[in-house]
Amino acid sequence: MERQLQVIVEITPQILDATLSTLKLAVIAFIAGQALGLLLAQSKMSRQAVLRKAAIAYIEFFRGTPLLVQIYLVYFTLPHVGILLSAFWAAAIALAMNGAAYAAEIYRAGFLAIDPGQNEAAQSIGMRKAQSLYYIILPQVVRIIIPPTVNAAISTMKDTSVAALISNPDLMLRALDLSSEYFRPVLIYSYIAVVYFVLAYPLSKLAIALEYRLNRAHR
């Protein structure tokens, strides 16, 4: 037991450093994925067939293929067209593109939950479509999508562990290295699991609290 505590003390600085890298990757991928997801949702609901079909194809591809394959495609394909990226940025791009496919469906569900008559009423009093979207539709959509979006943030953070397979210096890669160095895989992976739980649990509680508040406000 004493030796296990000693190992934990020794590896904690490295784990903290890897945790910061994991959080940075998760935040970048999540924000980019949400922005792209909003564009995809608008495209999928567009009256233009080309935009609609392109969005559907994108969403189906990224929802229907493994995240690991997508990371490998970004990491190994882009250098062939002259784009050299670090493991971190390759993982960020792949995670963002993957997350966007799921975010698009969340946004689309939010938009479809709004009565289309509200948009028509706004335009009838002289508001442009962009103004109607920004001032009337989006605030209601945001209220609807907050809980599933928080859950998506949790998924993105956990999915960063896959980036270790292209040598991104995150929590999982650090765990692999430390496990080989100390020959205590159970201890180290248990430690990593606790770290992921500590990161994810507050977000999961936030999602539950937000959903409760929103449901209570609209009873």
Q: In the chain, where are the structural domains located?
A: 2-217
Q: Dmax over Cα atoms in the chain, in whole Å?
A: 74
Residue 59 in contact with residue 39, Cβ under 8 Å? no
Q: State the pTM of this model.
A: 0.89
Residue in this structure with the two tokens 């890298």, named with its chain if needed: 21
Helix (H) or strand (E) holding 55: helix 49-64
pLDDT, averaged across the chain: 91
Q: Which CATH superfamily is domain 2-217 in?
A: MetI-like (1.10.3720.10)
Instruction: Classify the phi-psi angles of 168: left when phi > 0, otherwise alpha if psi is within -120 to 50, otherwise beta.
Output: beta
pLDDT of residue 207: 80
Ramachandran region, residue 167 (left: φ > 0; alpha: ψ -120 to 50; beta: rest): left
Q: pLDDT tens digits for 18-46?
A: 999 999 999 999 999 999 999 999 999 99
